[in-house]
A = this chain, B = another copy of it.
Amino acid sequence: MRNICLLVSYDGADYYGFQSQPGGNTVQDKLEHAILTLTGERLKVHGSGRTDAGVHALGQVVHFLTGSSIPAERWALALNARLPDDIVVRAAVEVPPEFHSRRCAVRKTYKYAITSCRFPDVFERKYVFHHPAPLRFEAMKEGLVHLLGEHDFSSFTSPLSTKPHHVRTVYEATLNVEPGGDGSIADGRGKASLIISGNGFLYNMVRIIAGTLMQVGEGKRKPEDIARILAAKDRSKAGPTAVPHGLTLMSVEYGPEWGIDWRAAMNRKR
């Protein structure tokens, strides 16, 4: 059996999340169905992690074991021809049999996109949360600093979490703000992208961080409240879970020992 690893983008709007569910209509179901029609194999694909209903991915990573002899560089085109247009396989590589997309991941990066312009950009409305009131971007940036490093993120996960512990390390947490057409950044109007990278994320973690950070942006909480919320290890101290459509899984990284080079795979001539 060969181990094939895919780099996958999807618009999550019309799916019940990544992971297979009894009702079907998940990204995993669509990928498995495309492989079935291509190779005749009824196999299971494994993602680097679930994404919830409505959450998008630019660079989800998926692997599966196959008996097919299709060369790695042919999989993307062959699967895209069998997938709906809101799921795109960007590249495929063959990886060692021990590789596992979830267990071997060393870093993941998410983006939560918010526009505080008076009116949403119609072309981005499905991927950006519209916060119609101005936001204090500088306070939000100050608040984010408290998330950096290793912490127990119990306050920022669903009480339904079944993980043995909630300690995770955040490597990067930044807010990039661009002018959005109406209003000015100085007045709290703009397109803001919360970028957060870490060694792992708990259920709803990025969306609860985004929901809490927007309260900092609204002046309802102070930047330093983020440190207090972390210390409390209590979900009820944090803000609401932000809506899913603003969230995108941007990338998943693996150690160099796996030899995964997406750029080379995408640029390879076929």
Closest-by-CB residue of B relative to A248 is B123
Q: Contact check, B123 vs A127: say whether CB atoms are below 8 A apart.
A: yes
Closest-by-CB residue of B relative to A189 is B267
Stoichiometry, as copies per complex, reads 2
Looking at the complex, which of A83-91, A163-171, A193-201, A234-242 is the stretch in contact with chain B? Answer: A83-91
Query: What B residues does A56 contact at CB under 8 A?
Result: 123
Interface string of A21-47 (1 = CB under 8 A from B): 000000000000000000000000000
Closest-by-CB residue of B relative to A183 is B267
Which residues of chain A in 80-137 are interfacial with respect to chain B, using CB atoms and an 8 Å cutoff?
A: 80, 85-91, 118-123, 125, 127
Q: Which of B11, B87, B90 contacts A182 (CB 8 A)?
A: B90
Tell me how far the C-beta of A18 lies from the nearest C-beta in chain B, rounded to whole angstroms: 14
How far, in angstroms, from A125 to B89 measured CA to CA in the complex? Answer: 14
Query: What B residues does A127 contact at CB under 8 A?
Result: 123
Tell me how far the C-beta of A202 lies from the nearest C-beta in chain B, rounded to whole angstroms: 26
Query: What B residues does A123 contact at CB under 8 A?
Result: 9, 11, 56, 58, 127
